[in-house]
Amino acid sequence: MSFRTSTATQQRQSLQDLQATQERMALNNARITSGNRIGSPGEDPTGAAAILDFGNSIQANTQYLKQIDAASAYLTTAENAVNGAVESVMRLGELAVSGSSASVPELNAILQNLLALANTQAQGKYIFSGTKTGSPPFSATSTVPYSYNGDGNDIQLGVATGTLVSTNLAGDQVFLGGKGLVPGASPSDLFTAVQNLASGFLTGNGATIQTATAGLDAALANLNQMLAELGGRQAGLQSLQTSLGAFNASLQALQTDQQATDYPTAMTEYTSDETMQSVTLSVMAKANKVNLFDYLG
């Protein structure tokens, strides 16, 4: 009787060992099949937490990269518009030197082009209106030509933790010579300079043309300053984009190291457990035969 009791205990232990072996085999089979080392947090709580942390950081940085792309797109549109204004002012400078009343039609065409540039849109938004992006920043009225209808507020996007970048320049700052200024209040008011030049051409007044030329020079300097500001922001965004991209690549590599199956180890363990399973089943089969003869005896 004691022999049968000992055999029953051994059988229970063998069954437990067999179950543990099969569980390990199933786990390694899942790892080999899926390519993931961790199928559920319970398999490796520390590793699963690290994978989750890496994933959250990657997701946050990916969102920041999208914000950088959006900010860069708006800044690029602004740069193109300001560059167009610079080209127009340079042409106006040429006309101021050699022009006459015959140049007035071209001058007016340039003025309309400048107005169109000042009212540039990107994705349906007026980029020089401050936060009033739904309305054109500039319009000509009977009383105040080319008045500014926007505001001086910045539109900011988060491009990194604790880092905001302004994606716009206010139209009064770019085309009127300063934030909060009304037409004619600044020597670098572009629209006033062009209108003065047209008036000088029409009246043949050299003093007015000279004043207009000085205004164009001041406006050109202001526009170039705006380009420098936009270029600085773009350079900062590009540097940040490179850094975030490299950081995300590092995080993804670390996440992969935590998550990816170690195939040589998994295959070795699976093969070892497969052998152990066969041995256990063989031992259990022999024990069952002994048990049977013991009872028959």
- Give me the pLDDT at residue 28, please: 59
Residue 90 lies in a domain: yes
For the chain, the distance separating the N- and C-terminal CA atoms, rounded to the nearest angstrom, is 12
Residue 122 near residue 74 (C-beta atoms within 8 A): yes
265/269 Cα distance (integer angstroms): 6
Whether residue 251 is found in the same domain as residue 277: no
Structural domain total, the chain:
2
Whether residue 11 is found in the same domain as residue 107: no
Distances (CA, A) of 222 to 103, 185, 195, 199, 276: 25, 14, 18, 23, 81
Whether residue 189 is found in the same domain as residue 162: yes
Whether residue 281 is found in the same domain as residue 244: no
pLDDT at 170 over 60: yes
Q: What is the pLDDT of residues 37-74, one digit of tens each?
A: 677 777 778 888 888 898 999 999 999 999 999 999 99
Residue 193 near residue 215 (C-beta atoms within 8 A): yes
- Give me the pLDDT at residue 1, please: 46
Residue 242 lies in a domain: yes
Residue 199 near residue 166 (C-beta atoms within 8 A): no
pLDDT at 245 over 90: yes
Tell me which residue range forms the domain holding 8.
Answer: 2-35+265-296
Q: What is the pLDDT of residues 73-85, one digit of tens each?
A: 999 999 999 999 9
- Give me the pLDDT at residue 297, please: 45
Whether residue 22 is found in the same domain as residue 127: no
- At residue 89's C-alpha, the angle toward residues 186 and 77, to 5°, is 90
- Give me the pLDDT at residue 34, please: 67
Q: What is the pLDDT of residues 258-279, one digit of tens each?
A: 876 666 776 777 677 677 777 7
In 3D, which of 238, 252, 80, 248 has the Cα closest to residue 169?
A: 80
pLDDT at 13 over 80: no
Identify the CATH number of the domain in which residue 165 sits: 1.20.1330.10
Residue 51 lies in a domain: no
Whether residue 94 is found in the same domain as residue 21: no
Strand partners, 163: 160
